[in-house]
Structure 1
Amino acid sequence: MSDRLFGTDGVRGQANSYPMTAEMALRLGAAAGRYFRRDGSHGHRVVIGKDTRLSGYMFENALTAGLTSTGMNVFLLGPVPTPAVGVLTPSMRADLGVMISASHNPHHDNGIKLFGPDGFKLSDEAEAEIEALTLAGVEPAQAGNIGRARRIDEGRYRYNERLKASFSSGLRLDGIKVLVDCANGAAYRSAPEVLWELGAEVIPIGVAPNGFNINDKCGSTDTAAAADAVRAHGADLGISLDGDADRVMLIDETGKVADGDQLMALLARRWAKAGRLNDGTLVATVMSNLGLERFLEGHGLKLKRTPVGDRYVVETMRRGGFNLGGEQSGHIVMTDFATTGDGLLAGLHFLAAMVETGQPASALLHSFEPVPQLLKNVRFAAGKAPLEAAEVRAAIGAAERQLDGKGRLLIRKSGTEPLIRVMAECEDDALLAQVVDSVVAAVEAAV
């Protein structure tokens, strides 16, 4: 058992297995409460949102118990998208925001993401302190200082209004048919509501959560059903969200899927033309396609790369004063409007481009030709460290020499699942497959 709790996006794992147990959630809640009540004063608040996983009930109650035991007053939002927690934490003058979600993972996983009073995810340093408190244990508050908990039924509506406020008041979506796949997740109410209220004809799918079907053959990581529905209904656009709605894949009217790189390319060019792209810079991770980088350079714009994880994108944006960033996987971060990735917000801004230009989605969603990219994952057992094996390091070195001057290789351990991700880019398809397969084979042998 590892004592490490926090990964690249909070605490995550299989429900009822370490570290995602009710006991650990209670301890984490108590530690977070103690961290934000170090001055001993009263009136501290925390907002808690969740997605639609069955285990969300268990973790919501455990976190509430831990937080109230240290004197925090808890406001329970129920099922809301992750970006709603980022919006509502500062809006409700809370000291802490908590989202219970494993994002795009299957239903048997869950996670806990923490947001500071400014609505941004906590820094590595803050998480490290809370982790230490969790493992050490904290003294509860005196009986008279225990916190209270209450449900906030209108949280979703407050978030919806913030989304609509980001959409130009002079624009409407009348006459546009939008297929929205909510992945049976946290946006199953918000997404159809917002699109309909802005005038779109809405075709919702993935809006019948039962605790088990979140991200199951639907959503941004499995777009086949949404693409089929776009074609079947003659929709102008498909918006495919993940389980907590912080990422999106867009589908044009022909059923072709575009990833986050294509959406960022469009937004960067439009924002730069309007004079609103800070320092002419887009922030993206090392996973973004080389074609995106070349596209930006061709328009006199810059790409600043970060490690994988939307939190690192946001941290870089904040340090540099940049206002647009994201990930190929569909996290799109627009800090003029939100504190974290917001799939529905990104979809609305793409719809605004459709309205303003009069062009179909197919003309807007394919700004550049991607350099061929191949990604394969290798699952490994707990306690293994395959990237430290000599044969794996040798295979990586050989692959890098083969790609020298022809492409690039990226090997990394996932921060959310026990996976080694092997990715390469190269315009020679045969060489691309050869180098990826050689590294994958070495990793598989090591595990």
Structure 2
Amino acid sequence: MSSLKFGTSGLRGLVSDLDGPPAYAWTRGFVGHLERSDQTGSKTVLIGQDLRASSPSIAARAAAAVSDAGWTAVNCGALPTPALAFAALKRDAAALMVTGSHIPEDRNGLKFYSPSGEIDKADEGGIRLAHDDLVPEVREAAHSLSLADLEGGAEAAIEAYMHRYSTFFGSDALKGRRIGIYEQSSVARDILTTILNALGAETVGLRRADSFIPVDTEAHRPEDVALVAKWAEEYGFDAIVSTDGDADRPLVADETGTILRGDVLGMITAKHLGLSSIVTPVTSSSAIEASDFAGEVLRTRVGSPFVIAGMAETARKGGSAIIGFEANGGVLLGSDIERGGRMLEALPTRDAVLPILCSLAEAAGAGKPLSEIVTEMKAGFTAADRLKEVPAEKSAPFLARLVNDHDYTAHLFEPIGVVVSIDDTDGIRTILENGEVIHFRASGNAPELRCYIEAASEPVARDRLAWGLETARRELG
């Protein structure tokens, strides 16, 4: 059975299941769905990729599928996913990003954009149907095109993306700030350097990698945490920044080397840009509702398609100043912003660069260290981690029992508190009498069970996380 499936953001699975006829067939299904649903735009597909070793081959197979369908394939090379999405919107074009985001290198994926933006769950169903309707000869095709022979779009897409931020924030926004850039295998490593320098910051590149490193901005690898702390002590940076593989999730550490939570980055971004209509999944901190800058807050399931749907719903109901963000730090800009005669256009797809720039600019503008800006957010204390190699057939019965068997759940949580409510919007979010939150959720991208904690202090959050992981491990057998 193939490992390929739609998760929280695109189609993902093992490289061995994707690179070959499946990459061709799923791309033909994507184009076929756009034609069936009258979303053809300019009948052009911009193709981008991250820095995984398998991405060029998969991109070449996707390009062949686009061309064989009678559309124009444009090679945008290695670039951030949000840069590809921004370029596609400008050209009334569809887009396909070859990326596995933060998951290990033996996996990869396809992320799809219609000419109007990132696809939703209904589009995923349509792509699946169009794929399944392909005749055997098409589904089994395995040829590819030389990417070098295609129209090139990398330079224009990257320049437009960098110009978007350098003009809005201005050349003095980060003047006097010294920023470390953890380059690793992020597709945005050079772009980040260029943008930060354009805003007046001094930058230092750190630990550039030739092979892919699966940086997860929500469940940090211990080696990344140690590296960032070491660099902060050694260099005296004002901040250290990075992204995941395709640059739609940020990593930001303050001057002490403490890595900021993704939802805190989202909160800082909303405050810095003056955006009060917030759409965010249930995994983000409940402190958002208590903040002094949030107006309407809409909670969704985890995944950018759900956040995008929530932003669209907010707009339909007359909402304005709309922003979406996830606990992984990716920010989706739902409204145009004008400030000092400069415009930042809406870009409703997950982006790492915007929250990086907003957090740095908020601290620089206030003349404060980044750690103080975080303290002012009053975002509480959280912790998160995951159990790896937990397939859905093991996690699903455990989660179902938590929500359906109240006696079981009460007994399970008895060592740490009394359960007062359960939210099953996405996974099982259990709220205790003392206000603590223990949230179990199966990952949509990999065979993992994630655990999220909210508590009154950092030590308690760590303790509850250890309890949650050990309890789940025991119950899963």
TM (normalized to structure 2)?
0.80
* Residue 299 of structure 2 corresponds to residue 305 of structure 1: yes
Give the distance between the partners of 2:212 and 2:166, measured in 1 at CA.
30
The verdict on how the C-alpha distance between 1:161 and 1:441 changes in structure 2, with shifts beyond 3 A counting, is same
Matched residue, 2:438: 409
Of 433, 439, 450, which aligns to 1:421? 450
The verdict on how the C-alpha distance between 1:432 and 1:199 changes in structure 2, with shifts beyond 3 A counting, is closer
Give the distance between the partners of 2:384 and 2:297, measured in 1 at CA.
21
* Number of residue pairs matched by the alignment: 426
Matched residue, 1:345: 354
The verdict on how the C-alpha distance between 1:443 and 1:80 changes in structure 2, with shifts beyond 3 A counting, is farther
The verdict on how the C-alpha distance between 1:301 and 1:246 changes in structure 2, with shifts beyond 3 A counting, is same
The verdict on how the C-alpha distance between 1:3 and 1:108 changes in structure 2, with shifts beyond 3 A counting, is closer
Is the contact between residue 184 and residue 206 of structure 1 (CA under 8 Å) also seen in structure 2?
A: no
Give the distance between the partners of 2:63 and 2:208, measured in 1 at CA.
27
The SS at the match of 1:258 is coil
Alpha-carbon deviations, 1:30-71, whole Å to 9, x = none? Answer: 112222334799961000111100000111011111111111
Report the AA paired with residue 215 of structure 2.
Answer: N
Give the distance between the partners of 2:314 and 2:409, measured in 1 at CA.
33
Alignment of structure 1 residues 25-64 onto 2, 5 Å:
25-38=23-36, 44-64=43-63
Give the distance between the partners of 1:381 and 1:226, measured in 2 at CA.
29
1:188 Cα offset (Å): 2.1
* Residue 216 of structure 2 corresponds to residue 203 of structure 1: no
Give the distance between the partners of 1:150 and 1:219, measured in 2 at CA.
38
Alpha-carbon deviations, 1:298-318, whole Å to 9, x = none? Answer: 567443221112332222112
Of 99, 102, 106, which aligns to 2:100? 102
Matched residue, 1:286: 282
Alpha-carbon deviations, 1:71-109, whole Å to 9, x = none? Answer: 110111111011111101111221x11111111112222
- Point out where structure 1 has 5 or more consecutive residues left out of the alignment: 141-146
1:247 Cα offset (Å): 1.1
The SS at the match of 2:393 is coil
Give the distance between the partners of 1:54 and 1:333, measured in 2 at CA.
28
Report the AA paired with residue 303 of structure 1.
Answer: V
Greater alpha carbon shift after TM alignment, 306-315 vs 74-83: 306-315
Matched residue, 2:134: 137
The SS at the match of 1:378 is strand
1:237 Cα offset (Å): 1.6
Give the distance between the partners of 2:261 and 2:295, measured in 1 at CA.
20
1:383 Cα offset (Å): 6.6
Is the contact between residue 184 and residue 207 of structure 1 (CA under 8 Å) also seen in structure 2?
A: yes
Alignment of structure 1 residues 22-171 onto 2, 5 Å:
22-38=20-36, 44-94=43-93, 96-118=94-116, 120-137=117-134, 149-154=150-155, 155-167=157-169, 169=170, 171=172
Is the contact between residue 386 and residue 443 of structure 1 (CA under 8 Å) also seen in structure 2?
A: no
Is the contact between residue 219 and residue 240 of structure 1 (CA under 8 Å) also seen in structure 2?
A: no
Q: Over the residues paired in the alignment, what is the CA RMSD in angstroms?
A: 3.2
Indicate the percent of aligned positions where both proteins have the same amino acid. 24
Give the distance between the partners of 2:376 and 2:355, measured in 1 at CA.
16
The verdict on how the C-alpha distance between 1:111 and 1:366 changes in structure 2, with shifts beyond 3 A counting, is farther
1:352 Cα offset (Å): 2.3
Matched residue, 2:262: 260
Alpha-carbon deviations, 1:126-150, whole Å to 9, x = none? Answer: 111111121231587xxxxxx9932
The verdict on how the C-alpha distance between 1:218 and 1:3 changes in structure 2, with shifts beyond 3 A counting, is closer
* Residue 380 of structure 2 corresponds to residue 378 of structure 1: no
Matched residue, 1:191: 192
Matched residue, 2:426: none
Alpha-carbon deviations, 1:359-406, whole Å to 9, x = none? Answer: 221221233455444444233465724322587665545446733222
Give the distance between the partners of 1:105 and 1:288, measured in 2 at CA.
21
Is the contact between residue 247 and residue 352 of structure 2 (CA under 8 Å) also seen in structure 1?
A: yes
Matched residue, 1:144: none
TM (normalized to structure 1)?
0.85
Give the distance between the partners of 2:401 and 2:204, measured in 1 at CA.
51
- Point out where structure 2 has 5 or more consecutive residues left out of the alignment: 139-144, 316-320, 337-344, 421-432
Give the distance between the partners of 2:362 and 2:372, measured in 1 at CA.
11
Greater alpha carbon shift after TM alignment, 398-407 vs 246-255: 398-407
1:356 Cα offset (Å): 2.2
Report the AA paired with residue 377 of structure 1.
Answer: R
Greater alpha carbon shift after TM alignment, 7-16 vs 383-392: 383-392
